[in-house]
Amino acid sequence: MTQIKPNGDTYYNSTLTGLSPAENEFREAVWDFSARVVKPRAEAIEKEGGKEGGEYKTLLEVHKKMAEMGLHGVTVPTEDITSSLGLGLSYTHHLLAMEAVSYSSASLALSYGAHSNLCVNQLSRWGSNEQKAKWIPGLLDGSYIGALAMSEVGAGSDVLGSMRSSARKTDEGFVLNGNKFWITNGPKADVFIVYAKDVVEPGAKQTYTTFLVPRETPGFSTGKPLDKFGMRGSPTCELIFEDVFLPSSAVLGSSLLGKGAKVLMSGLDLERLVLTGGPLGIMQAAYDTAVEYVHQREQFGVRVGTIGSMQAKLAGMYTAVNTARTFAYSVARAVDWHNEEAKKNGIEPGDKRYVYPVNQRRDCAAAILYATDKAIEVALECMQCLGGNGYINDYPAARYLADARLYAVGAGTQEVRRWLIGREVNSDFE
């Protein structure tokens, strides 16, 4: 059915999604939350973002309300004694939540994705019981904000090969030095999952380690918030590590010293999948805005939406939204099915016996690649449908485009996604 919200209509076509009744019930609950709680605050979130010394008051308030909904722990197991606030649901559910929040505020959703997937999900999957007991309850109830730090000024697409941030082992622990850049939630996060290259002997194989770094750690600081083209309400900044001492207990997991590359790579596919909800939500918002506008505005004595050239635009937008969504949901279901099968056999992702689903890497990359391309196209068409009003900030069309553009470079560039998919396809013939 079509979901009707208090703040307006959405023309989301649930008949094409293949969602189960329980999944659709979850989706409708989050879309309703997005309409009631997020949308009325979206403008305030944008205006408070990107300011040096900014408090991001509205964003943090809504984060707390999302915690009350249980949205920060969608994929955190409920049976884990250290994470009793987790919902224990699937990546399909996480994708649905990301899409619903993105519909009302792409900036908030990006912050949410960095917190709930990049930080919380990785900690839940790889952290020791002690680490989970210390951090997950607060991350789930809204007391803490989390972030993940991987990219650097000189290490974006080639994140491991060009990484300069280093961790030197000492008798007491580790000393971390370096910088991270473009870090979502950086200005406000309480804890960071940080990847660093290990200082190794000359000629030895380069290894990497993942650390948990609390904000108050001596020697750690953050730069001023970045002034971005879009996603202006999402807190983003540089992280600076100057002789930061970390005890051995700061290594993520109980036996993952030198295995940071494995942790990093294991999270990238799931990051791409969950964050695909971002362009999906933006695309649906752009389509809904355009449809409403062209059926209210009249030119030449008729509604603009009835003019042939405009009907062609609406047809293209409708097709793009629904094909991108259907593909993304299918990939999510495939990942979830594999995870469930592994669990039935007592195999968790950290287990040496765990084998990732066939085509997971290429399909997760393809889902966000396609959704991002289509979100940019639909946002541009939305601007065109609004004519002159599409170019002024009294209307949301320009923001849709600016926000959609983030996903062409964030969480991996479109070029790297295409390269990855092509490499995976070619591997079938090796």
Q: Does 193 lie in the same domain as 66?
A: no
Amino acid (1-letter code) at residue 270: L
3-state DSSP assignment of residue 315: helix
Q: Which of 250, 284, 302 is the last residue of a domain?
A: 250
- CATH classification at residue 296: 1.20.140.10
**Domain for residue 160, yes or no?**
no
pLDDT at 2 exceeding the cut of 60: no
20 contacts: CB under 8 Å, gap ≥ 6: none
CB 59 within 8 A of CB 42: no
Domain that holds residue 96: 4-145
**Domain for residue 331, yes or no?**
yes
**Domain for residue 14, yes or no?**
yes
pLDDT at 80: 57
Q: How far, CA to CA in Å, does 151 sit from each of 31, 164, 286, 318, 410?
A: 32, 10, 30, 35, 10
Q: Which long-range contacts (CB under 8 A, 24 or more apart) does 388-397 make?
A: 389/293, 395/289, 396/285, 396/289, 397/286, 397/289, 397/290
pLDDT at 83 exceeding the cut of 60: no
- CATH classification at residue 18: 1.10.540.10
Q: Which of 250, 283, 298 is the last residue of a domain?
A: 250
Q: How far, CA to CA in Å, does 33 sit from each of 28, 63, 83, 98, 282?
A: 9, 12, 23, 12, 16
User: What would the pLDDT profile of 94-131 be if each residue is shown by its tens digit?
Assistant: 999 999 999 999 999 999 999 999 999 999 999 998 99
pLDDT at 286: 98
Number of domains in the chain: 3
Confidence of residue 254 (pLDDT cuts 50, 70, 90): confident
pLDDT at 82: 57
Range ranked top by mean pLDDT from 49-58, 315-324, 359-368: 315-324
pLDDT at 81: 53
Q: Does 382 lie in the same domain as 282?
A: yes
Helix spans in 8-164 (H): 21-33, 42-48, 57-68, 91-104, 106-113, 122-126, 129-141
Q: Does 387 lie in the same domain as 337?
A: yes
Q: Does 334 lie in the same domain as 305?
A: yes
For residue 38, give the H/E element and its range.
Answer: none
- Please report, to the nearest 10 degrees, the dihedral formed by the alpha carbons of residues 334, 339, 345, 347 taken in order: 140
CB 155 within 8 A of CB 110: no
pLDDT at 255: 78
pLDDT at 29 exceeding the cut of 50: yes
pLDDT at 6: 37
Report how far residue 407's alpha carbon sits from residue 107's, in angstroms, rounded to the nearest whole number: 12
179 contacts: CB under 8 Å, gap ≥ 6: 152, 153, 164, 165, 238, 239, 240, 241
Q: Does 421 lie in the same domain as 272?
A: yes
Q: Which long-range contacts (CB under 8 A, 24 or more apart) does 410-415 make?
A: 410/110, 410/182, 410/275, 411/271, 411/272, 411/275, 411/368, 412/157, 412/268, 412/272, 412/365, 412/368, 413/156, 413/157, 414/369, 414/372, 414/373, 415/157
pLDDT at 51: 78
pLDDT at 399 exceeding the cut of 90: yes
**Domain for residue 260, yes or no?**
no
Q: Does 207 lie in the same domain as 130?
A: no
Q: Does 420 lie in the same domain as 380?
A: yes
- CATH classification at residue 230: 2.40.110.10
User: What would the pLDDT profile of 233-242 be if each residue is shown by its tens digit?
Assistant: 999 999 999 9
Three-state secondary structure of 277-297: HHHHHHHHHHHHHHHHHHCCC
Three-state secondary structure of 369-399: HHHHHHHHHHHHHHHHHCHHHHHCCCCCHHH
Q: Does 420 lie in the same domain as 285?
A: yes
User: What would the pLDDT profile of 193-224 be if each residue is shown by its tens digit?
Assistant: 999 999 999 999 999 999 999 999 999 999 99
Q: Does 292 lie in the same domain as 385?
A: yes
**Domain for residue 53, yes or no?**
yes
pLDDT at 87 exceeding the cut of 50: yes
Structure tokens at 238: 């540089």
Specify the higher pLDDT residue, 302 or 180: 180
Report how far residue 275's alpha carbon sits from residue 146's, in angstroms, rounded to the nearest whole number: 16
For tokens 């722990």, the residue is: 73
Q: Which of 250, 282, 301 is the last residue of a domain?
A: 250
What is the pTM (predicted TM-score) of this model? 0.94
pLDDT at 100: 97
User: What would the pLDDT profile of 150-174 be if each residue is shown by its tens digit?
Assistant: 999 998 888 999 999 999 999 999 9
pLDDT at 353: 74
For tokens 């926000």, the residue is: 403
**Domain for residue 153, yes or no?**
no
**Domain for residue 157, yes or no?**
no
For residue 223, give the H/E element and its range.
Answer: none
pLDDT at 74: 96
Q: Does 222 lie in the same domain as 294?
A: no
Confidence of residue 3 (pLDDT cuts 50, 70, 90): very low
Determine what percent of the chain falls in helix, strand and coil, rounding each to the nearest 5: 55, 15, 35
pLDDT at 376 exceeding the cut of 60: yes
3-state DSSP assignment of residue 207: coil
**Domain for residue 150, yes or no?**
no
Report how far residue 256's alpha carbon sits from residue 137's, in angstroms, rounded to the nearest whole number: 23
Considering the candidates 99, 238, 271, 381, report the single residue annotated as catalytic. Answer: 271
For residue 377, indicate whether it is catalytic: no
pLDDT at 340 exceeding the cut of 70: yes
Q: Does 184 lie in the same domain as 104?
A: no
Q: What is the mean pLDDT of the chain?
A: 92
Q: Does 284 lie in the same domain as 418?
A: yes
Amino acid (1-letter code) at residue 423: R
